[in-house]
Amino acid sequence: MKRKGLITVLSGFSGAGKGTIMKHLLEEYPGRYNLSISATTRNKRIGEEDGREYFFKTREEFEEMIKNDELLEYAEFSGNYYGTPKEYVNRLVDEGKDVLLEIEVNGALQVRKIFPDSVLLFVTPPSAEALKSRLVGRKTESMEEIENRLSISSKESLLMDKYDYLIVNDKVSAAVKEVHDIIECEILRTGRNSVMIEKMQRELALYKK
């Protein structure tokens, strides 16, 4: 009997490097992970493609998905909707495939409610200063937007302890290895190995005196 896929949720401050970690995970462990592609109403950035980074939707389309209960979670964030199409995740998990979800804090806690067995990882830079430099450095947001994101981060930080694991993203290669190792180790949890446990119990019962 095949195990169900593991759902790993990656959250973290805007600018913490979640996207980079995800990219490396997919590159370094080809075929190992399955990405859930989110739907969003935010503008496409240069180099992004519809159906690859995100499913880009209009507000009207997105609200239609909400209405039809097609989303595992969704949230409004910096004036845009972000959400996870439900059907795709369910299908992957049933096929025994491990799924990575990159979701902001409130959405992550929604996923945990629907999938109590999911693993929640929080990515943070080593300091608030490092976070600010990264946001400034990537030159995709205005100073006002950066201040806004840092303000959101301060609120998100209050929910860090709701997560299972903390990834301090100082060196990307180390953070990528940590995420991968956590997933591999979570697969070894007794709660995910009841088939093997029951097999040993059955086989050993023959030796009971």
Site residues (vs a copy of itself, CB under 8 A) = 13, 122, 124, 127-129, 131, 147-148, 150-151, 153-155, 157-158, 160-168, 178, 181-182, 184-185, 188-191, 193-194, 196-197, 199-201, 203-209
Nearest-approach distance from CB 122 to a copy of itself, in angstroms: 7
Q: CB-wise, 27 or 203, nearer to a copy of itself?
A: 203
Nearest-approach distance from CB 180 to a copy of itself, in angstroms: 10
β pairing state of 80-85 and 38-40: antiparallel
Nearest-approach distance from CB 124 to a copy of itself, in angstroms: 6
Ramachandran assignment for 47, one of left (phi > 0), alpha (psi -120 to 50 degrees), beta (any other): left
d(CA 160, CA 94): 29
Q: CB-wise, 16 or 22, nearer to a copy of itself?
A: 16
Q: CB-wise, 52 or 162, nearer to a copy of itself?
A: 162
Nearest-approach distance from CB 120 to a copy of itself, in angstroms: 9
- Cβ atoms of 72 and 111 within 8 Å: the answer is yes
Q: CB-wise, 50 or 147, nearer to a copy of itself?
A: 147
Nearest CA to 160 out of 39, 11, 1, 56 is that of 11
Question: Quick one: tokens of 133?
Answer: 């430099």
DSSP state of 45: P
Nearest-approach distance from CB 82 to a copy of itself, in angstroms: 21
β pairing state of 80-85 and 71-77: antiparallel
A 10 A CB-CB count for 73 gives 23
Q: CB-wise, 65 or 131, nearer to a copy of itself?
A: 131
